[in-house]
Amino acid sequence: ECYRNTQTSRSKSNKRNAKYHSSFIPVNSYDFSVYEMLMQIFYISFQYHNMRFLHVADTHLGYSAYHKMASNGLNQREVDTYDAFRQFVDYAIETKPDFIIHAGDLFDTVRPTNRAIKFAVEQLLRLSEERIPIVIISGNHETPKLRETGSPLSFFEHLNGVYVVYKGKYERIELGDAMIHAIPHNFSKEDLIKNVKEVRIEENHVNLLTMHVGIIGIKEFSRGDFNEQIISSGYLSPSFDYIALGHYHRATEVTKNAYYSGSTEYFSFKEAGEKKGFYDIEIANELKIKFVPLRTREMIDFGSIDCRDLEPDEITGEIIKKFDGIEGKIVRIFLKNLNIRKQRSMDWNRIKKAASQALHAEIRYDLQEIKYEMASKSKIASLEEEWKNYISKVPLEGKKEIEELALKYLSEAIHATD
């Protein structure tokens, strides 16, 4: 018998998994019919031209925020990131893709907690046991500033079917007919461009590129992180069958073959209102891309309330109205043109009670100074008249008593100088 490996071949850098996820088709060289031979050829051809994989990124495991705790005593937002990634792994196991590409920022920090690492190992082992390979590149959040500092991705190097690329160098990973060109986060623009220029399209393969970068071109896709790398959209070659990008948290088509999958959870109010999830991609005669949404905690930015012509009780009422139905959500509202007097007179006890339903409620405002304008006159009026004109424009309680008392003192002062 002779054998044809139709599913997985390995590059030199991945010999440790050479037997993992392999499948062979036996062909008896003596007794197979012409029909059987044609069927074998058809099957091999079909295997090559049909491929399905998942593209996910920016899971930020270990992220925590706000002060609410889950029932298990952990920060609720940390638990939310774990729930989102678990949903993703559940989907992968249920639908059995050929492989997965994670385009960076698996973790939220270069030093994740033991809890975050343990959770990641558990989920990756689930994929490994189901023989679903996954390629993970490092993102800017989990890449150490010093080369001597270890990467958290190194923990996964010995897991079967888990390929981690984190050493700042371009690597190629061959999974069956797919050649995955993986470029991890680089701290220098020069190293990044050097890595990009080293990429060569592999003939007779489906060529996939994955990077964790911002893109600038017709539109800028970046997050403003202090250590992010941004490259021109000109480096997104149409020669690739698909480009899996990470870093930008909104699921976005950059070019016809390049996509950001977005993050799996909300990490900023800039992302409020967006769907969170990942891409399910099929490459056959054409590229088919399906966005798969995840169940996540809702984040709402209510925008602003203009307080210029509203009284304190009206402002309070508007906030209470907005906060109706915010149980368990993350919300924000901005009070525009709010002055100190109105801010102090609002019913903050009612507002706090309404806000307590949310996981997190943020009320922002920039206090405006109260400006008192005096009508311009060609002649200066008497002190009494000037005072009456001034006090009429000042929002004070007991204004009448203050006005009369001041006029009394003015009169006494004027007569004392006569």
Q: How many CB atoms lie within 10 A of CB 281?
A: 22
Tell whether the torsion through CA atoms of 211, 217, 220 and 225 is positive or negative.
positive
Picking from 259, 261, 233, the residue whose alpha carbon sits closest to that of residue 249 is 261
Active site residue 67: no
Rg (the chain; Cα; Å): 32
- With H, G, I as helix, E, B as strand and everything else as coil, classify residue 386: helix
Q: Is 86 within 8 Å of 78 (Cβ atoms)?
A: no
Q: Is 174 within 8 Å of 203 (Cβ atoms)?
A: no
- The helix or strand, by DSSP H or E, that contains position 280, with its residue range, turns out to be strand 277-283
- Given the residues 21, 55, 141, 181, the one annotated as active site: 141
Biggest CA–CA distance in the chain, Å, is 133
Backbone angles phi, psi at 143, to 5 degrees: -95, 120
Measured between alpha carbons, how far is residue 216 from residues 103, 208, 213, 254 in Å?
A: 18, 20, 10, 10
Picking from 54, 56, 48, 35, the residue whose alpha carbon sits closest to that of residue 9 is 48
CA–CA distance, 175 with 179 (Å, rounded to integer): 6
In the Cβ-directed half-sphere of 177, how many Cα atoms lie within 13 Å? 19
* Active-site amino acid positions: 141
